Structures are given as structure tokens and as C-alpha cells.
Amino acid sequence: MPVMSFLTTCIFDHGAVQRLPSVLKQSGASRPMIVTDAGIKAVGLLDTILGALGSEPAAVFADTQANPTETQAKQVTEIYKESGADSLIALGGGSSMDLAKAVGLLATHDGTLEKYAARTGGAKYIGKIPPLVAIPTTAGTGSEVSVGLINTLENGFKETIVSPNLIPSTAICDPDLTLGLPAGLTAATGMDAVTHCIEAFLVPSENPPCDGIALDGLTRAIGMGALERAVADGSDKDARWNMMMASYEGALAFVKGLGSVHALSHAAGRLHEKKLHHGTLNAIFLPHLLRFNEEAAPHKYERLRFAMGLKDNENIGDAIEALNARIGIPSDLKSIGLEMSDGPGIVENALLDLAHRGNAKPATQADYEAIYETALG
């Protein structure tokens, strides 16, 4: 099976979770705490990891909430400290991984998470965290190889915290863990990966390796049809392998940055009472931002069309909308519970988001207001 070192080591293939004990041993860890969620526990994936581990973990926290908060991170940090854990295993999607990273940070650093926010230069305060093994159970966020974490702080802002020290020490990507994932979740997480690949490629800064990786991920997800095949047949092992690779590549690519789709999605995701899925938000906003950005990067749009298997001059925003419809993504924000009254707060927070700075075309408050209104439906 391939073992790749790009930012960090990734063990990638069907059955890769069986390498977990040796991975922990190599990192000098013997008392890991597992951070996961209730859904992962209910479908038996936690038992799979416990079986692969072969020994009792120091602790298990299986109540990660979607769009994790600083309040929960503080609570789980106390459990980590009291258990005598010396490492972390993040099992699940982006929420479990972001929570585990926040726990690692709080367990070894002083102050609140606000101190470490990227938009205020907090990276300079971030040192090493305990060994963290990230095991994704969805193909979307790519958090297993990401330099950052997203957390809604106690001050109300949804912040990005970024540091090379937050990259998991090892990622174990086992596509078998995604077999049977429900079609709706496969679609939403898959569109998260697609958005990472597209937005990272469109970020204006020069990084040809990241661009190449992003285009390869997009080719796998859309050009080769892996996303639609995985949604149609959850047991398609080849589709699951390629979607997990697309997710992994999307996160490698967004070392370069992200854009306004993520700025708006992060801003909407902070509304905890709405219980919005980040991947679904990305999927709905993406066509609108693709239309907004096209004039800023026409040469890049040609390469996107090629990777996606589209015809010359085909409208990419329209193509993404059609893909969304085929895989069951809601067509507008109103369908998932957002209202016009939510707009001002979302726009305000999007303008403050780190991803706002990376958009292919500078976006103003008025631009975001118009995009939100159109996406609302």
C-alpha cells in the first residue's frame, strides 16, 4: 500500500487501520484517547478501531458535536488530562478531527483558543501538540492532513486556527471505513472535497504542486465519476478509494488557501441551532462563486473544465448545479433552513474569515449580500 509523506505521513489503502498499533508505537504513544461521535459509535466503526488497537485506550469521547465549539473542547481537554492520555486518535469527519486538534492544543498550551486564531496572527504561539493519529470515516474534509482546525469560540466567532504543529502526526486513510456511508452524507462530504480542489486551484498565489494535486483530486471525483458512483452504490470499493484520495488531495492542495465559498460556509456554520452541514453549504454556494470568479481566472477555468470532463466553454457553475441535483444536494439555502434574516450576520462573519482573503476575485460586502440572496432561492 502507498505510504506518502507530503506534509505528514499517510497510510492509504483498504485495511490500513490494521497499522494503528505500529503507528502509535512509532510515535512513542501508549495511552491514546479516542475522539469520535455518536454516529460513528452507533454504526460500529468505533468497535472496528478498538479491535485494531488491540488494547484499552486511556479514554473514549464519543459525543463530538457537529461544528465543534470551544466550550466542548475545554470539557474534553479535562477528560484527556484526567485519563493520563499521552496521545489522541481522531476518528470520524472534520468535526472529530477539529475537536481532537483543539484538545491537543489546549492540553499543552495556556489561554483560550482565541489567542491562537489565524486572523490575529496566533500561529506564532502554537508549539507541538501530543501525537495525533487521524482516521477519516468520510471522504470530504481532508482534516487528516490539514494544517488547521475550525472552532466556534466562546466569543461567538467561528475561527480558523492554523499551524504546521496541528497537522496530525500520521493519517490512516482506509476507504473501507466509508463503505455503506449513506448517500446523502456521501454526497455532502464529497462536495466538500470537490470544493477544496476547486477553490485551492483558484487561489491566486503560485503553487504549481498544489495546483496539480487539486486537479488530480477533481479529476477523480468528477472527471472519473467517483462521486456519483459512490453516491449510487455505497459498496463500490473503487469509487470509495478514489473519493478518499480526492479528499486527501483537496486538503493537501488547500495549504495554498481557500476562497469565498468557505468564508460564507464557515459564517453560516456558526449558527449552531440550524445544524447545517459544512459540505452541503459548500455545494450550494459553489456554483454562485464559480460564476462570480470566472472573469478573474479564465485560463484556470479551462483547466477545471478539462479535469471535470466538460466541453469547451461549458459553464462550470451550471455543471456543478446539475451535479448537485443528480446526487441529491438541496438546490438552495432556504431548503436547509436559512432565512433572509440570517444574511447580515453571515456576510459580516464571512468578511472576517481567513478564507475571504484567498478568493480568486476580491469580494465586497455588497457582493456577498447579492450572492447570499441568490443562493437563498
pLDDT in tens, 72-107: 999 999 999 999 999 999 999 999 999 999 999 999
Work out how many domains the chain is built from and give that number. 2
Q: Check whether residue 236 and residue 266 sit in a common domain.
A: yes
Q: What gap in Å lies between CA 57 and CA 50, rounded to an integer?
A: 8
Last residue of a domain, one of 129, 158, 176: 176
Residue 4 has pLDDT above 60, yes or no: no
C-alpha cell at 222: 468528477
Q: Check whether residue 303 and residue 267 sit in a common domain.
A: yes
Q: Check whether residue 190 and residue 278 sit in a common domain.
A: yes
Q: Check whether residue 226 and residue 297 sit in a common domain.
A: yes
Last residue of a domain, one of 176, 201, 235: 176
Helices 278-293 & 260-269 angle (0-180, nearest 10)? 150
Residue 7 has pLDDT above 80, yes or no: no
Indicate which CATH number applies to the domain containing 102: 3.40.50.1970
Q: What gap in Å lies between CA 282 and CA 247, rounded to an integer?
A: 14
Q: Check whether residue 341 and residue 258 sit in a common domain.
A: yes
Q: Check whether residue 124 and residue 231 sit in a common domain.
A: no
Q: Check whether residue 194 and residue 343 sit in a common domain.
A: yes
Average pLDDT, the chain: 95
β-pair type (8-12, 87-92): unpaired
C-alpha cell at 183: 448517500
Domain that holds residue 291: 180-376
Residues 82-91 as b or e (16 or more Cβ within 10 Å = b): ebebbbbbbb
Last residue of a domain, one of 141, 176, 211: 176
pTM summary value: 0.92
Q: Check whether residue 30 and residue 168 sit in a common domain.
A: yes
Q: Check whether residue 285 and residue 201 sit in a common domain.
A: yes
Report the pLDDT value the prediction gives residue 351, as an integer from 0 to 100: 97
Who's near 298: CB < 8 A, 6+ residues apart? none
Indicate which CATH number applies to the domain containing 275: 1.20.1090.10
Helices 183-202 & 278-293 angle (0-180, nearest 10)? 40
Q: What phi and psi, each to the nearest 5 degrees, are found at residue 234?
A: -65, -15
Q: Check whether residue 66 and residue 123 sit in a common domain.
A: yes
Q: Check whether residue 137 and residue 203 sit in a common domain.
A: no
Q: Check whether residue 214 and residue 136 sit in a common domain.
A: no
Residue 157 has pLDDT above 60, yes or no: yes
Residue type for 345, please?
G
pLDDT in tens, 335-359: 999 999 999 999 999 999 999 999 9
